[in-house]
Chain A
Amino acid sequence: MNVQNYVRKRFLPHLWCPGCGHGTVLNALLRSVDELGLSKEDIVMVTGIGCSARMAGYVDFHTMHTLHGRALAFATGIKMSRPELNLIVPMGDGDALAIGGNHFIHASRRNLDITAIIMNNHIYGMTGGQFSPLSGPGTTATTAPRGSIDPAFDAMDLAKAAGATYAARTTTFHVRELQKMLTGAISHKGFSVVEVFSQCPTYYGRKNNTGDAPEMLKAFRDETAKIGSKTLDENPELIPRGVFVDRDAVDYGEAYAELCRNAAKEAPRC
């Protein structure tokens, strides 16, 4: 397959920095779309604001680049209006869980059939390296020169508690796993979340002395382990990867369609 079939070549080169992990996420996403045999016309990509959000410009789908944190709210409107479309919503960590936190938990609760991708680079890249609610204590950032004291969200715990029916986490090191999870999320009926650790060598890397992009990828390899693996059992301090939630529940769109069908049987009200 050729992922370039799904790319708007005239808008390349992209603006992501050398070594950025976001291109890897895009690559895996396009392979997953191809694997699922989806037509470009059936996909709507809605993004918010930030480095992640620029993805909307590069893909040859129906694309909407919206407001910081609000992508899921726009996507909800589109999905309610056109249930047959596949909604894919890539977001950054600040986009999804700081300014967009409320929309995220309610989208999870509603279980409308949308796929959210949290491209978690643990930092605000586009604005120049400020800490996010996923950075975690000790992270050095341009707004935390002495190290952040802010506790971090665990996106998987949050998604699960809020009611998401599919939630998975991986990293840009684990590209095949990433593609598999994206395929799982897009084909899942209901609200699905894939969190991808994505390296930001420019801001997170430089501020935190992690080394360059390959070093950061190696760290993703070494600091994470699959759920249920022996490695994770023996090293509980590692960050778990894998599918955290995959369950069936009533999809909001279907519930609404049923509500409409039943209501249509009533006598008109006004």
Chain B
Amino acid sequence: MKDIRFIQGNEACTLGALYAGMDFFAGYPITPSSEIAEMLSGELPPRGHTFIQMEDEIASLCAVIGGSLTGRKAMTATSGPGFSLMQEALGYAVMAEIPCVIVNVMRGGPSTGLPTQVSQGDVNQARWGIHGDHAIIALTAGSHQALFENTVRAFNLAETFRTPVILLYDELIAHMRERLEIPSEGEIPLVERLMTSVPRDVDYRPYLAREDGRLPMSDFGGAHRYNVTGLYHDMWGFPSTDPSVVRGLLSHLVEKIEGRENELTFTREYETEDAETLLISYGSAARTARQTVYEARDKGIRMGLLELETLWPFPERKVRDAVAGVNETVVVEMNLGQVFEQVRRVARSPERVFLANRIDGRFITPPDIRKVLRIIAGKGVWA
């Protein structure tokens, strides 16, 4: 029998994490993500897994990194202000190549902003919040089913590429209730950690990549004693300022993600085949965009939607190809145009890319999009 629930997005994310085998959670309460911590405080102890409420978001991600390094699938969940505090440890996880998942349920910012209202304003923060050159993976979702799947995917990518993965979704998805069909066991394949085959007492080099760029791990505290640091380091994990080591490590950190656009970028397409007008959107805004597409199709207007589920690395090729075949592209999002700027960057005709957005904490609606389409068509704005 199918396991069908009618639940909040935060619950869908939590169930996805448990499905993925997450067995370590450290967090700090913050709206609109707190339901994840609340649910896990009930679910993890009976499984003998770790739940700990830390003193702040800084400590939360540090504890997650410690948990992950010792062999756990580890996660934390927060919102904008907490995500700001996590940037320091996020950089450490990038540098030391520690797999983990960071959920950021987006609310209005900057600062305390709009704690209980919808926004998609943290897209650029996910990419550029930490200092120094780097690459990052950030996924998003526009439905509970997609959120469940992308939560599992976030863990899979974190383990595959030994990297933190950010799961960004907005307050509307987090708190909305809708149907979720829980996949049966094994329906979504799980990626388990690649462990080293180097035996005990043989020199294990934790930062020596294989030919495919992957780094086999050894549970910290286990068979091999090694060093982990946030400094530039050699293949043993010891600090180094040797220019070739520094260049090699930074290139590795960026290439393992930026060089894998095909493996890492996920999109969904609706009615794009013969579309003359293309909407590009993600998260809850993509639901409005999809509705707009269906309403347009009912009137015989050839409109389609490209929904992004990977925000970083930005799906450059997919977006460039999709945009190339249409008359105009409208990016639908709830911020001042963070993905819009990316689409313009990759489009061959950036002057044919437009923005339909809302920045007032209210959910974007089909009329908000149609208003922009009318302006593009030179029909002016109706009152």
B50, A80: Cβ atoms under 8 Å?
Answer: yes
Q: Mark A80-118, 1 if CB is under 8 A from B, else 0.
A: 111001000000000000000011001000000000000
Structural contact, B238 and A11, CB atoms closer than 8 A: yes
Assess whether B350 is interfacial by the CB under 8 Å rule: no
A77-B66, A81-B66, A266-B46 are contacts. A44–B221 as well, Cβ < 8 Å? yes
With the chains together, A40 CA to B63 CA distance in Å? 23
Tell me, yes or no, whether A181 is within 8 Å of chain B by CB.
no
Is A196 located at the chain interface by the 8 A CB criterion?
Answer: no
Asked whether A73 and B58 contact (CB < 8 A) given A64-B228, A78-B67, A78-B221, the answer is: yes
Across-interface contacts of A66 in B (CB, < 8 A): 62, 92, 229-230
Contacts of B65 in A (CB 8 A): 74, 77
A-B contact count (CB 8 A): 136
Q: Of all chain B residues, which has the CB nearest A44? A: B221
Is A269's beta carbon under 8 Å from chain B? yes
**B64 close to A (CB within 8 Å):** yes
Q: Please report the C-alpha to C-alpha distance between residue A44 and residue B226 in the assembled complex, in whole angstroms.
A: 10
Given contacts A77-B26, A259-B45, A264-B48, contact A64 B15 (CB under 8 A): no
Please report the C-alpha to C-alpha distance between residue A40 and residue B226 in the assembled complex, in whole angstroms. Answer: 11
CB of A70 within 8 Å of the partner chain:
yes
How many residues of chain A are within 8 Å of chain B by beta carbon? Answer: 39
Does residue B173 face the partner (Cβ distance < 8 Å to A)? Answer: no
Contacts of A266 in B (CB 8 A): 46
Chain B contact residues (Cβ within 8 angstroms of A): what range? 35 or more
Q: Is the CB of B48 within 8 A of A74?
A: no
Which residues of chain B have C-beta atoms less than 8 A from A73's C-beta? Answer: 54-55, 58-60, 62-63, 66
Q: Which residues on the A side are within 8 Å of B238 (C-beta)?
A: 11, 57
Are B220 and A44 neighbours in the complex by a CB distance under 8 Å? Answer: yes
Please give, as numbers and ranges, the residues of chain B lying within 8 Å of A256 by CB-CB distance: 45, 50, 52
A56 near B: Cβ within 8 Å? Answer: yes
B230 touches A81 (CB 8 A): no
- A residues near B, CB below 8 A? 11, 40-41, 44, 46, 56-57, 60-67, 70, 73-82, 85, 102-103, 106, 256, 259-260, 263-264, 266, 268-270
With contacts A77-B64, A77-B66 known, what are 5 further pairs, Cβ within 8 A? A76-B52, A76-B66, A77-B26, A78-B67, A256-B45
